[in-house]
Structure 1
Amino acid sequence: MRKLKLLGWTVILLLFTGSFSVFAQQGKDNNQKYFGEFLDRKGNGYRTASGKPGEAYWQNAADYQIEVGLNDSSHVLSGKVTITYTNNSPESLDFIWLQLEQNRFTPDSRGTLTTPIQGNRYNGDIDGGYNITNVSAKVGLKGANSTKHLIDDTRMQVWFAEPIPAKGGKATVSMNFSFKVPQKGMDRMGRLKVKDGWIYAFAQWYPKVAVFDDIEGWNVDPYLGAGEFYLEYGNFDYKVTVPYNHIVVGSGKLMNPNEVLSKELQNRMAKAAASDTAIYLITPEEINNTKLTRPKQNGTVTWHFRIQNSRDVAFASSDAFIWDAAKINLPSGKAALAQSVYPMESNGQDAWSRSTEYSKASIEYYSKQWFEFPYETATNVAAEIGGMEYPGLNFCHYNSKGASLWGVTDHEFGHNWFPMIVGTNERRYAWMDEGFNTFINHYSSNAFNNGEYPSTLNQTRRFNNYFTSDTREGIDNYPDLTDTRNLGMVAYMKPAIGLVMLREYILGEERFDNAFKSYIKTWAYKHPQPNDFFNHMENVAGENLSWFWKGWFYGNGNIDLGISSVQPYGGNYLVNLVNKGDFPMPVLLEFIYEDDSKERVKLPVEIWHRGDSWSYLHKTGKRVKSVEIDPDKVITDINLGNDHWPMEIYK
């Protein structure tokens, strides 16, 4: 009996072995390449597997005190910065690295030397750069002073006489600096001559500390152009001395309105702070009426601003500003101030006269939908800059009008959430700020004024020419490595479309929103990495999305779902599906019956676990007239021809 049992198991084993051998010879693919983990996303003490900061998570901090003065004859800004640096890392630091972004505007900077001869958006003047003197660095209150420093391109290394202690040690670095304000500032800052004077847009204007983190240590990528910024959080107290007839707006709260605004202007400011519609602080007719709006009629005036828990500050100064403002209503019951400054050339209801309306709507929408705006002011500045964002302050082009002005205003204010609140590394992962921001812009645009300016992402398949082009590049490309002609898709549109598909097609709005809001709240004022985002979205939404991250964010392939046939089957219908694309997706089917009624069925992504074809049995007592994949056209399926049955409907 035992021999028979052994013989039986031997036969069974041979049969299974033979079967496996046959399948192996056929080369059957179980799609492990799609559904298996592709990145090392394991947690550790610093960053957990659930996408949260771990118990040992740390980040350093930098507080700034800055005093500068503007010479509007020589176009030079000069002053002093004092940085109080806190080392919360587990290791002592012999030195710190700073970013000197004004050094990009020199003839031998890396950015200048890597700009194509024909130029691009990131062209800039080359007669600028920092003049830095009186460098002083010391640890603690009584540490020995060190002047040792090294400047290389847009980086500066400052050494201390003794290391900054780990886990809370403090150091102070101070220096004097000056630079000529570029007229062409890489579409991020600069100066513009208008009829009534100059507009100065100040960004990247002071030496600032680079990030030291648990991923790379010192993040010292040079400032070349496309790659933006990665900065520590801290408190800023800054003073700007300008000619008496200038108006200054800046990141944060104006601390000395009594010293820089006339009584009339202070009264108007109070009215604007309580008004849901824009109120003029300086009307078009009052641009040169300094007696009405300024407390002094000669010399200079110092404007004092303060902002807390911010990663940067920017400001603008001009003697040519129209100025208006209105109240921003926040979900908590708090209020902030939306304000716009622009020259006479930008005036008009089809142009910048609606800027404050746009700014208020944008901030209120994002605050209600995602996370409350944290700063006292949201300022839109008209300048010769296509669009650039800083905490609580934008620079947008002074010639923008209508839909263009709404779009750039909404986009730049959206950046207050990504990367100002959620502090990602823009030099490396542009998609985590530009892409996420473009995604939230999609919904804000559709919501504004009953859809006055509809989002371009309402039709995701309009971008299919790019997705099928031979020159397309992946989202994971660093911005400075990406062809500038592709940067709009790589950094902005493709990641945004990915999130739209994730929200509206894969997860659904409720699951997505729960996860995305949690991600923002969890990483507010911190430094998440891509894996932190992936892990957090999966854990809160309750879905393994490795196949999607791999296919869309770390791949360059396309989606192509199809219906190969629909057949009557025992009084029901057999729908035969194929995946001809480069990665899987769930399949949303819409059935239209002969009585013109409709029914939708969503098949999970797991139907593709074992191969690239699947048969779905649709049970119905009705006669099917047509079947369609993705009836709302949410996903960027590159082949519309196989999305319908029968084919004649589409022809």
Structure 2
Amino acid sequence: MKLLSRNLIGLFLLTFCFYLQAQDVKEDNQDLFNDVLYRQGNVYRTASGKPGPEYWQNRADYEIEAELDDVNHTLTGKITITYTNNSPEQLEFIWLYLEQNRFTEDSRGTLTTPTEGNRYNGDVEGGYKISNLKVEKDAAEHLITDTRMQVFLDEPLKAGGKDVEISMNFTYKIPVEGMDRMGRLDVNDGTIYAMAQWYPRVAVFDDVTGWNVEPYLGAGEFYLEYGNFEYAITVPYDHTVVGSGLLQNPKDVLTKTQQERWKKAEESDQTVYIIKPEEVGTAASHPEKSGKVTWEFEMENTHDVAFASSKAFIWDAARINLANGKKAMAQSAYPKESDGQKAWSRSTEYTKASIEFYSKTYFNYPWKSAVNVAAEIGGMEYPGLSFCSWRSKEASLWGVTDHEFGHNWFPMIVGSNERRYAWMDEGFNTFINHFSSNAFNNAEYPSQLEKTRRIVPYLKKETRQGIDTYPDMTNLRNLGYTAYYKPATGLMMLREYVLGAERFDKAFKSYIKTWAFKHPQPADFFNHMENVAGENLSWFWKGWFYGNKNIDIAVNNVEQKEGGYSIELSMEGEIPMPVKLAVTYTDGSSEEINLPVEIWQRGDTWSHFLSTSKTIQKVEFDPNKQISDIHAANDTWEKE
């Protein structure tokens, strides 16, 4: 019996092979549905897209004292960093970023900037001078390489929560052009100093890469550890300083009138002046009449701080009503040149509305203030503070303000790696900006991100690049698409077309809550969205987020059969998609057909039988134009 069974099995297999050879077998599309990344979980990051039972991240707490010289345009300071090693391995050295070294003639960023220049031009007369570097108050060996500094430890820093103190003095010349992220702007009443990347910052040591030490070139932004900040900025007596976090010594730096106005603003939904336009440059605008004044700030659980200083600032504020019932302060600082109801006089209104919307919709704003500063910067975000163009007005000012404060959620709260994965902050932020804009003041400045086919001209270009291209490697003409609009459009398609708003929103909000103040990787986002939404989306991540593939679904033919119609579809592009069809009958009635994405697993064509006694007039794919299908001409079949 055993021999007979083997013979029968062999005969079956042989017959089946001949049968296959006799058929015109087409290769299937399973590869399009396979995972694009290694997404299996481990003890640090789970397969469900959550921090694992042994997830860890290190910590950096900062104490900084700095002085601004507005004659020589320099910043001089002393910094003390308490670095905590929560990793499972001991560390023999610690890497820090010295990003002001970008502003030198021989920096990698300077040498990789095209001769014709670009957005990330920078001065070349700057760079850090580091002195008195100590570890645990003893002189320490260090090595500076471009925008990175390696500090060597005499004794390895043990694992499991041990900490070490690093201190140093620093000074540098403040650039005029700080690569559209920081710098100096001269206006009639003085100079505006927009100060960012202004102190040595600890690089991230994580479970994925170890030390993240990519050089600061230009387009790539930041990846930093969380901690608490105490910083004090000494400036000339007639300067106003605004900064990330909460001002700690208002009685020392504000007049009694300004303190009263501040208290009024804390209780007001309407904008209140702290320094009025007519007070700029007058003796009434500052409590001291000569010398220097120190402004002190604190900010908890953040990975960075920034500040601005000038004697040219108009300063106003209003209360922010947070979703958890707590309050914060929206503030704006801008010169007279930016004043006016069509311009920066509405900045605090915009800031307040933006923070309130994202707090209510996604995750509560965790800090006590949000400051918008007018500067010679198109738009750049830091925790609790943004720099926006002093020339912006109306829709332009709303758009840049809303975008930069949206960044407080990505990557300030959800701390992704901007230097590698710009789409995880710029793209996600552009996506949430859509809803904030449409909610503001009855859509005074409406978004059109839902018009997903507006991106099609870019998708057809031979010079296009994938979302996964590192920002510093991306052609700057493509960066707006790869980092901002293509990933945002992808999320829009996922929400409106693939998953539906309810499933998407639950998963997206869960991702934010799960990874708040942590360091997610792309696979963590993919895994979390899939597990909460309950959908395998490998085909979507692989097709839209990696490479240059496109969507092109065609309705090729509609043929009448007994009892109904056969609708012939094909996938002309390389990204599969669920298929939504609108069927219109000759009597004017219509119905919708929804076919799952799995119809494309076996091949590039599919036939759907529609049982009906009516006569079909037209069949249209994606009737609401929710998909960035690159060829609209083949979306529709219509009866002649």
Please give the range of the TM-score, normalised by the shorter of the 2 chains.
over 0.9
Q: Which amino acid aligns with 1:507?
A: L
- State the Cα distance separating 1:472 from its structure 2 match: 0.4
**Mapping of 1:447-526 within 5 angstroms?**
447-526=439-518
Deviation digits for residues 80-136 of structure 1 (CA, Å, limit 9, x no counterpart): 000000000111111100000000001111111111100011001100111111100
- State the Cα distance separating 1:558 from its structure 2 match: 0.5
User: Which residue in the other structure is 1:296 paired with?
Assistant: 288
- State the Cα distance separating 1:349 from its structure 2 match: 1.2
Pick from 330, 341, 348 the counterpart of residue 356 of structure 1.
Answer: 348
What SS is found at the alignment partner of 2:32? helix
- State the Cα distance separating 1:429 from its structure 2 match: 0.6
Q: Distance in 2 between matches of 1:594 and 1:447?
A: 40
Q: Distance in 2 between matches of 1:625 and 1:647?
A: 5
User: Which residue in the other structure is 1:208 paired with?
Assistant: 201
- State the Cα distance separating 1:560 from its structure 2 match: 0.2
User: Which residue in the other structure is 2:173 paired with?
Assistant: 180
- State the Cα distance separating 1:382 from its structure 2 match: 0.3
Q: Distance in 2 between matches of 1:344 and 1:594?
A: 65
Aligned residues: percent identity?
64
What SS is found at the alignment partner of 2:269? coil
**Mapping of 1:329-408 within 5 angstroms?**
329-408=321-400
Q: Distance in 1 between matches of 2:560 and 2:86?
A: 68
Is 1:251–1:377's contact at 8 Å kept on the other side of the alignment? yes
**Mapping of 1:113-192 within 5 angstroms?**
113-138=111-136, 145-192=138-185
Alignment CA distance shift 1:285-1:621 (3 Å) = farther
Q: Distance in 1 between matches of 2:452 and 2:180?
A: 28
- State the Cα distance separating 1:421 from its structure 2 match: 0.5
Is 1:145–1:161's contact at 8 Å kept on the other side of the alignment? no
Q: Which amino acid aligns with 2:352?
A: K
Q: Distance in 2 between matches of 1:647 and 1:177?
A: 75
Q: Distance in 1 between matches of 2:551 and 2:545?
A: 13
- State the Cα distance separating 1:286 from its structure 2 match: 1.3
Query: TM (normalized to structure 2)?
Result: 0.97
- State the Cα distance separating 1:40 from its structure 2 match: 1.3
Q: Distance in 1 between matches of 2:204 and 2:600?
A: 43
> Which blocks of at least 5 consecutive residues in structure 2 are unaligned?
none
Pick from 558, 573, 579 the counterpart of residue 566 of structure 1.
Answer: 558
- State the Cα distance separating 1:22 from its structure 2 match: 3.1
User: Which deviates the most, 625-634 or 242-251?
Assistant: 625-634
Q: Distance in 2 between matches of 1:3 and 1:303?
A: 92
Deviation digits for residues 355-387 of structure 1 (CA, Å, limit 9, x no counterpart): 111111111111111111111011110000000
Is 1:331–1:372's contact at 8 Å kept on the other side of the alignment? yes
User: Which residue in the other structure is 2:318 paired with?
Assistant: 326
What SS is found at the alignment partner of 1:538? helix
Q: Distance in 2 between matches of 1:4 and 1:80?
A: 87
User: Which residue in the other structure is 1:270 paired with?
Assistant: 263
- State the Cα distance separating 1:418 from its structure 2 match: 0.6
What SS is found at the alignment partner of 2:42? coil
Query: Cα RMSD over matched residues?
Result: 1.7
Q: Which amino acid aligns with 1:148?
A: E
Query: TM (normalized to structure 1)?
Result: 0.96
Q: Distance in 2 between matches of 1:266 and 1:29?
A: 74
Q: Distance in 1 between matches of 2:474 and 2:22?
A: 45
Q: Which amino acid aligns with 2:304?
A: D
- State the Cα distance separating 1:10 from its structure 2 match: 6.1
- State the Cα distance separating 1:145 from its structure 2 match: 2.2
Alignment CA distance shift 1:262-1:5 (3 Å) = closer
Is 1:382–1:395's contact at 8 Å kept on the other side of the alignment? yes
User: Which residue in the other structure is 1:141 paired with?
Assistant: none
Q: Does 1:18 align with 2:18?
A: yes
Is 1:328–1:364's contact at 8 Å kept on the other side of the alignment? yes
- State the Cα distance separating 1:27 from its structure 2 match: 4.8
Q: Does 1:539 align with 2:537?
A: no
- State the Cα distance separating 1:32 from its structure 2 match: 1.2
- State the Cα distance separating 1:15 from its structure 2 match: 3.3
User: Which deviates the most, 479-488 or 384-393?
Assistant: 479-488
Is 1:146–1:161's contact at 8 Å kept on the other side of the alignment? no
Q: Distance in 1 between matches of 2:635 and 2:258?
A: 62
Alignment length (residue pairs): 640
Alignment CA distance shift 1:195-1:576 (3 Å) = same
Pick from 586, 595, 607 the counterpart of residue 599 of structure 2.
Answer: 607
Q: Which amino acid aligns with 1:370?
A: Y
Q: Distance in 2 between matches of 1:599 and 1:185?
A: 57
Alignment CA distance shift 1:7-1:430 (3 Å) = closer
Is 1:146–1:160's contact at 8 Å kept on the other side of the alignment? no
User: Which residue in the other structure is 2:61 paired with?
Assistant: 63
Alignment CA distance shift 1:10-1:137 (3 Å) = closer
User: Which residue in the other structure is 1:632 paired with?
Assistant: 624
